[in-house]
């Protein structure tokens, strides 16, 4: 959530910053509601003070045995006026909150200007693109040939976008998750195994609601949501808490299944593992002192890069432009891996700094020099398995139709060097 004080003090700056994300923000209406709320609150405080003073006068009159009926009647009238006023305050606050909750975060000044993914900037690349002396087959054909997964039966059991991992495929998926987690734990992260269901407040806290409600799976009877990412429960792990400055930064790594309806997404990059309704991911979440959050941002990117380097998968890092930033992000890097079959790039990780946007919504603060302030929250995929599997299968396939296992992953598969 944006700081209302910032909107109040720099309305044009906020309007232009949001415009760079493609948002025409109703700044005038926000300021109007904010002014009305403050005026009503002041009027309410004055009436409460008046009521308190009258109550003291009534007490004096009663002690002196004097008639207080007239002044009591005026107190009742004042109470009724206060009820009306407080109702007006609540309605005004609700209207203001609804608008503020619908507004995305402001982009950081270092974010490239642009309207879409075409304007993202390649920051760096790593690894040589595979030079195959044979025609590669795609991940789906190779995986089915090696008996690693079954999309058809997954669709029969549930529906499209719910794959089944079989035998060595299931073992490979589990090996990747363990490999990711160990990589993070060796670099100072604390592991969390979070619940897969969260309440509405948690979804609001990280910015999934109300903006992205149509992409979420909801259990209407219980008012719970299946998590789209472990970011939601792990960030809300410290919701409504005052953290110790000495403990920052707090770095967590969490494995979870992720659930996304992907409303309106079908028909775009949907073959095989490209777009799923249920998938596995290890998420990195960090709580940082604001002065050091952009150092942490780079650290998280490097953390995800380290995994791809160990798996010997070529990748590139992109700085997202203003028009391609997510709702809550102030700055974001995408990591993309190479698909030899498609001869293109697939996003496997987004690493974002949300600054204090989520912390305001979830009320996560810390004390610095005795003064409470909001932390900065960051997160990033470290990593998601679906598109990584695409690159792993396609980059490490052989002319014989086998799959070479990168040395770093072999210990997690009992020393197996190749799937044949």
The question of whether 37 is a catalytic residue gets the answer no
Distance CA 159, CA 278 (A): 11
202, 233 in Cβ contact below 8 A?
Answer: yes
Which tokens sit at 55?
Answer: 């109550």
Q: Which segments within 88-153 are labelled E, that is strand?
A: 121-126, 149-150
Decide: helix, strand or coil at residue 211. Answer: coil
**Among the options 37, 251, 275, 299, which is catalytic?**
275
Q: Which two tokens stand for residue 356?
A: 């204090």
- Rounded distance, CA 51 to CA 63, Å? 18
A 10 A CB-CB count for 387 gives 26
| Interacting residues of 134 by C-beta distance below 8 A, sequence separation 6+ | 399
Alpha-helical runs (H) found in 207-292? 231-235
347 a catalytic residue: yes
φ, ψ of residue 16 to 5 degrees: the values are: -70, -40
In degrees rounded to 5, what are phi and psi of residue 165?
-95, 135
Of 350, 365, 381, 394, the active-site residue reads 350
- Which residue out of 37, 173, 256, 260 is catalytically annotated? 260
Nearest-angstrom CA–CA distance, 373 and 363: 10
Half-sphere exposure of 266 (CA within 13 A, CB side): 6
Known active-site residue 240 = no
Active site residue 350: yes
Which entry of 37, 305, 387, 394 is annotated as an active-site residue?
387
Other C-beta atoms lying within 10 Å of the C-beta of residue 61: 16
Q: Quick check: 142 and 169 in contact, CB under 8 A?
A: no
Question: Hunting for tokens 């190479």 — which residue is that?
Answer: 338
Give me Rg for the CA atoms of the chain. Answer: 27
| 3-state DSSP percent of the chain in helix, strand and coil, to 5 | 45, 20, 35
Kind and range of the H or E element at 213? none
Sort strands 190-192 and 250-259 into parallel, antiparallel or unpaired. parallel
The number of angstroms, rounded, from the C-alpha of 45 to the middle of its chain's C-alpha atoms is 38
Kindly provide the residue ranges of all beta strands, DSSP E only, lying in 260-330, ordered along the sequence.
278-288, 315-319
Pairwise CA distance, residues 52 & 49, whole Å: 5
Report, as residue numbers or ranges, the catalytic residues. Answer: 260, 275, 347, 350, 387
């Amino acid at each position: 959530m944006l700081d209302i004080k910032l909107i109040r003090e720099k309305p044009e700056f906020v309007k232009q910053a949001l415009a760079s994300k493609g948002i025409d923000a109703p700044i005038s209406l926000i300021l109007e509601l904010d002014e009305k709320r403050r005026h009503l609150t002041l009027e309410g405080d004055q009436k409460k003070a008046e009521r308190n003073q009258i109550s003291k006068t009534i007490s004096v009159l009663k002690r002196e045995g004097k008639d207080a009926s007239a002044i009591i009647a005026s107190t009742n009238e004042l109470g009724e006026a206060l009820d009306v006023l407080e109702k007006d305050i609540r309605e005004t606050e609700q209207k203001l909150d609804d608008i503020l909750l619908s507004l995305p975060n402001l982009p950081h000044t270092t974010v490239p200007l642009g309207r879409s993914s075409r304007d993202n900037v390649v920051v760096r690349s790593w690894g040589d693109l595979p030079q195959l002396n044979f025609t590669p087959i795609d991940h789906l054909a190779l995986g089915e040939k090696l008996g690693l997964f079954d999309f058809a039966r997954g669709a029969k059991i549930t529906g499209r976008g719910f794959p089944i991992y079989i035998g060595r495929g299931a073992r490979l998926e589990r090996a990747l998750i363990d490999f990711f987690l160990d990589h993070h734990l060796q670099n100072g992260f604390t592991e969390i195994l979070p619940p897969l269901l969260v309440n509405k407040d948690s979804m609001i806290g990280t910015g999934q609601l109300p903006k992205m409600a149509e992409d979420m799976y909801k259990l209407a009877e219980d008012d719970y949501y299946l998590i789209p990412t472990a970011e939601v429960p792990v960030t809300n792990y410290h919701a409504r808490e005052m953290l110790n400055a000495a403990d920052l930064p707090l770095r967590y790594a969490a494995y979870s299944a992720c659930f996304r309806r992907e409303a309106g997404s079908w028909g775009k990059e949907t073959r095989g593992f490209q777009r799923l309704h249920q998938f596995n991911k290890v998420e990195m979440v960090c709580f940082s002192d604001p002065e050091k959050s952009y150092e942490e941002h780079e650290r998280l990117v490097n953390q995800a890069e380290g995994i791809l380097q160990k798996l010997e998968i070529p990748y590139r890092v992109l700085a997202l432009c203003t028009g391609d930033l997510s709702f809550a992000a102030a700055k974001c890097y995408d990591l993309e891996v190479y698909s030899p079959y498609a001869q293109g790039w697939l996003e496997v990780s987004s690493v974002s700094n949300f600054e204090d946007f989520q912390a305001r919504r979830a009320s996560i603060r810390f004390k610095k020099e005795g003064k409470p302030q909001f932390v900065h929250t960051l997160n990033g995929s470290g990593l998601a398995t679906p598109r990584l599997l695409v690159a792993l299968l396609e980059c490490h396939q052989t002319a014989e139709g086998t799959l070479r296992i990168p040395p770093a992953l072999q210990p997690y598969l009992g020393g197996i060097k190749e799937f044949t």
